[in-house]
Amino acid sequence: MDVTPSAIAVDAGGSSTRAVVVSRDGNCGAVIRGGPGNPVADPDRAAATIAQVCAAASGASTQRPHLVVATVAGILSRDFPQLPPALAHQGLPSRVVMVSDLLGAYFSGTTAPEGSVLIVGTGAVAARVTGGRLSAVRDGLGWLLGDDGSGFWIGHQVARAVAADLDGRGPATTLTSRVLAGLDDVVRRSGLRTPDLAALLTWSQTRPPVELARFAVMAAGEAERDPVAASICGRAAEYALATLASLPGTEEGPVVMGGSVLGEGSPVGRQVYACLGARARRVSDGVAGAAMLAIRELGGSTDDASLARVVQALRG
């Protein structure tokens, strides 16, 4: 058994959980993946998932972890007391450091102690990092109160544009055929409304609102040839940049970008990236940042060379 000081670094998000054992000098084990770890909806289930993934990561390593460092979605406005006992149940270290997944994303892209992070996926949130810690947060308020420019927001705008097209109130759009083809097996009935509009109405009233986010990828796919889709993506980029600009001091330091809406293949991501220029850093997840935070807790070096070594090891 390797006795080098080490920790389990875990990034627990809304769609998946990733964990890796990392030593103080930056050596990483295998990345283990599991299901969602966001505790907002079901904290007990999230804690059990995170603990199981951490246990698998520990089991795959020759090192004996001294602590667990977890970057967790959804803990900005709530505690997560279910996690430590779930980890203990798996025989894992009792010392647990929990921080927001925003820090995990930020330190996956930079080692700068001052900067900003912008995450736009199903939701949308921006945060300022000062002295290596979160100092301000904007949006991330959920689809009822915010998440402007998010995947949900884009999907909602797509559905509204298609409804306006079918209702004769808005311009024709190629989004209409794509959305109608994706309505599963909704029965189309005739009446005062056209069968297609009635089908969209039925679908929207019988599905959870978050399912509107599935239409976001359609806007991205049609943006280059459809003015309606291009307008939706353009407004989403403007919202993302406005949320970022509302942070104090955000004009200084790097900006780490994450989330599917800001990916390389996304028209929203391309617009935001172009506006930020050399300050922008793209990341795909927060596990490298979780590892860097774990190295910091262990007293190791967290300079640029360390981040590069961790990123390379995780890709390996």
How many domains does the chain divide into?
2
List pLDDT tens digits, range 47-89: 999 999 999 999 988 888 989 999 998 887 678 999 999 999 9
Q: Are 312 and 286 in contact (CB under 8 A)?
A: no
- In the sheet with 17-23, reading across from the earlier edge strand, the strands are 32-34, 17-23, 6-12, 67-72, 96-100
Given a cut of 50, the residues of the chain with pLDDT beneath it are none
Residue at which a domain ends, from 253, 274, 304: 253
The partner residues of 97 in beta bridges, in order of sequence, read: 69
pLDDT of residue 190: 65
Same domain assignment for residues 107 and 126? no
This prediction's pTM: 0.90
pLDDT of residue 76: 76
Residue 177 lies in a domain: yes
pLDDT of residue 203: 92
Range of the domain at 90: 6-111+285-315
Residue 200 lies in a domain: yes
Task: Report the CATH number at residue 237.
Answer: 3.30.420.40
Same domain assignment for residues 101 and 120? no
Q: Which two tokens stand for residue 99?
A: 């921080």
Name, in order, each residue with C-beta under 8 angstroms of 147's C-beta and a sequence gap of 6 or more: 122, 123, 124, 125, 139, 140, 141, 153
CA–CA dist 274, 161 (Å, integer): 27
